[in-house]
Amino acid sequence: MFCESYSTARMIEVGCCSCFGFIRKPKRSLRPVSGLGSRFSQGFLLNDTPEDVDAGSYNGESTNILYGEDGELRSRAKCFEEILMIRVQNGMICREVPVKETRKVVRTEDENGNKMVNEYIRECKIGSGSYGKVVLYRSSVDGKHYAIKAFHKSHLLKLRVTPYETAMTDVLREVSIMKMLHHPNIVNLIEVIDDPNTDHFYMVLEYVEGKWVCEGSDPPCGIGESTARKYLRDIVAGLMYLHTHNIVHGDIKPDNLLVTSTGIVKIGDFGVSQVFEDDNDELRRSPGTPVFTAPECCLGLTYHGKASDTWALGITLYYMVLGQYPFLGDTLQDTYDKIVNNPICLPEGINPQLKNLLKGLLCKDPKQRMTLDAVAEHHWVIGEGDPIPRYLCWCKRNCWQKEESDGNGKDGHVTITD
């Protein structure tokens, strides 16, 4: 039986400011966050870390993204560069073709006066991230469109997200993680352009020419169960792949879930993602979007990243089928209070299987929360089809081939999807 409350007495007074990109040092007792009542609009609650976070936000009480004040986690965790290097050495990268790395930036104009970055011709701005803008470019070489994230390195280096790290660390971590990945339900990183002699830094990404998953949804009907089921299957497939590779996305929400013109959902924006050396996915900093924050993250203490991703998946599903958020207050504090204390409200007449799935995903106790494996085999998710197949990625294939050559072949059947 899935739970509907999680140590409520423990969590009544929410003292976490993690959605600003910093964490208040844990105290012996948690106190309410003062002065937050009217400072933030609901627009803030539905968006990720604001772009103007700086060192002044800390008030001298922060902790690092992985390290406690006593360095306890420091001894157990390797930084993302080390983890990437180990995976490269052990053949644990899922890309057959590495991400292209370009060390030269040439900024010019084409014959029509359109700005160019190397081979890419600028067309229009299509979005903004926490630290930079996203622009649509067309390649003069292959004629394809690409979404390019553009940053100023000097700006990234000035923005401090923890006492130990700047926004540049977040961007480099995003690049490192995306260099590992190749999956049909994840946006692909094509090229990184970083000229050491200029202030410009670019990530060239696959352009998903479609929409985001909840585009067109309106209360109280959302996008419909059938479409929501189809989208959820793709999201879960991509998220299972990430978690299998010890990667936590950290900001699962409709805005970061893009639908291609053929109806395939791709997970994007790894700006706050984390990679781990092993299954220990403990985190302290929770820089995602407030309304998608899991109850355990509201404590400001350590939590498990994979379970928080699963909670955000539940909020996303709720929004897809009902067109509204289950826990949204008028202020940040009010939103956190609802996340921690309020039971999930579902309309009468909702599909019983969907109700069971939503309650499982939005269980406030992370230890009892439904796992992605259980979601993949849930009756509502299967519908009239099959369980979500496991994706046998490039690095897993290599690993199994090595084991078979050593005489230690695996038993069992795994569906290969490309």
Check 48, 170, 251, 281 and give the catalytic one. 251
Return the closest-CA partner of residue 12 out of 295, 375, 351: 295
Residue 272 DSSP one-character state: T
Write b or e for each residue in 30-52: b if 16 or more Cβ atoms lie within 10 A of its Cβ, otherwise e. Answer: beebeeeeeebebebbbbbbeee
* Cα angle 389-393-395, degrees, rounded to a multiple of 5: 150
Pick the closest to residue 64 from 393, 268, 285 (CA basis): 285
CA distance 177 to 87: 11
Residues facing residue 121 across a β-bridge: 116, 138
96-134 CB burial, b ≥16 within 10 A, e <16: eeebeebeebeeeeeeeeeebbbbbbbeeeeeebbbbeb
**Preceding amide of 50 cis, omega within 30:** no
Say which residues have a Cβ less than 8 Å from residue 58's Cβ, sequence separation at least 6.
22, 160, 163
Alpha carbons 390 and 299: distance in angstroms, whole number = 34
Helix axes 167-180, 80-89, angle to 10 degrees: 20
234 is catalytic: no
- Residues pairing with 75 in the sheet: none
Q: Is 149 assigned a ligand-binding role in the annotation?
A: yes
Place of tokens 């579902």: 346
Which residues define the annotated binding site?
A: 149
Which residues define the annotated binding site for ATP?
A: 149
- Residues annotated as catalytic (active site), given as ranges: 251
